[in-house]
Amino acid sequence: MFPSIPLFNAAVVSQPFKRAQLGLFQGKTKQYGNNVPFSKHKTRRTWLPNVQSKRLFSDSLQEFVKVKLTTRALKTVKKHGGLDNYVLKTKPDLLGWEGMRIRVAVREKQREHGTGVLVRPTPSTHTTAETVEESRDVASAV
């Protein structure tokens, strides 16, 4: 069912946090440590990833997909320009079962429509002399 079965099986075995397979966790797992109060009596505890339940719109599927994802994964989805680009560009071992399921659905839809990875232009962070002069011209015209 999945296009990258060997990589996918290896990822499942290596991830100890099973709940991460049911959402987009971007490699975040359960962490372990100690609470150490003033008395220095250590007590074992765990830290869970910051998981949010969101509805993200898929451009290829033309519908909202309800998925559990960490805030780190949500930032990465925004960075890649949407859910479709995220699942297509991310390594299979970071996606898990749910991410691979979405990836397969997106690829099938794109094959039907004959489209590829959606590229959205990102604004440049540096300013050039030309853009500064253009902004001055616009400001002086107003």
Query: Is 79 a member of any domain?
Result: yes
Q: How far apart are CA 93 and CA 96, in angstroms?
A: 6
Query: Is 133 a member of any domain?
Result: no
Q: Is pLDDT at 132 greater than 60 in this prediction?
A: no
Q: How far apart are CA 65 and CA 56, in angstroms?
A: 5
Query: Is 67 a member of any domain?
Result: yes
Q: Which residue has the higher pLDDT, 10 or 118?
A: 118
65 φ, ψ (degrees, to nearest 5): -115, 120
Query: Is 71 a member of any domain?
Result: yes
Residue 31: partners with Cβ closer than 8 Å, 6 or more residues away: 46, 47
The pTM of the full predicted model, rounded to 2 decimals, is: 0.68
Taking only the tens place, the pLDDT of each residue in 50-86 is 999 999 999 999 999 999 999 999 999 999 999 999 9
CATH of the domain at 65: 2.30.170.40
Q: How far apart are CA 116 and CA 85, in angstroms?
A: 10
Run of H or E including 51: strand 51-58
Query: Is 134 a member of any domain?
Result: no
Query: Is 31 a member of any domain?
Result: yes
Residues 106, 88 contacting (CB under 8 angstroms): yes
Parent domain of 16: 5-119
Query: Is 86 a member of any domain?
Result: yes
Q: How many domains does the chain have?
A: 1
Query: Is 15 a member of any domain?
Result: yes
